[in-house]
Structures are given as structure tokens and as C-alpha cells.
Amino acid sequence: PNPTRDAFTLELPNGLEQKGTLSVFNANGQLVKQGIIQNDKQEWSTTDLPSGVYYIFVTIENQIFKEKLVIIQ
């Protein structure tokens, strides 16, 4: 759900390879979390991030997907 408290779930569209990278940036453009995507559905914890607006960038097969995420702690 968006906004979220503890975690968000990343679900990849059908047909995309499961390997890729996830990068989370805060509203100031600073990289605050990064990881490797290993499954087509994966949960990511947000308990280490303060409340605020974040931008998720997912890079898979030379494609970049962007999503806005609001965290309320």
C-alpha cells in the first residue's frame, strides 16, 4: 500500500526477467536504499527510513521503472 509504514512489495510485470536492481532515493535525490531483485514478487523493509516522500527506481533488462512511495512512521 502507498503510503506505507513497515514495508512495500515489488511485483514485476509478466515477461520481465527477475534479476535487476532497486534503488530508493529521498526527496533530496540522495540514495537511501539499494538492493538486488531476485524474485518476481519481493518485499522490502522501510523501517530504517524516516517518514517522507521517496522515489523507487527499478532497473531490469535496460529498462527503468519509477514509482513514488510515501512512508509514514
Q: Report whether 21 contacts 34 (CB < 8 A).
A: yes
Q: List pLDDT tens digits, range 6-62.
A: 999 988 877 676 689 999 999 999 999 999 998 888 999 999 999 999 999 999 888
> What's the pLDDT at 67?
94
Q: What is the mean pLDDT of residues 58-72?
A: 92
> What's the pLDDT at 40?
84
State the DSSP string of 20-67. EEEEEEETTS-EEEEEEE-SSEEEEE-TTS-SEEEEEEEEETTEEEEE
Residue 1 has pLDDT above 70, yes or no: no
Here the cell at position 58 is 527499478
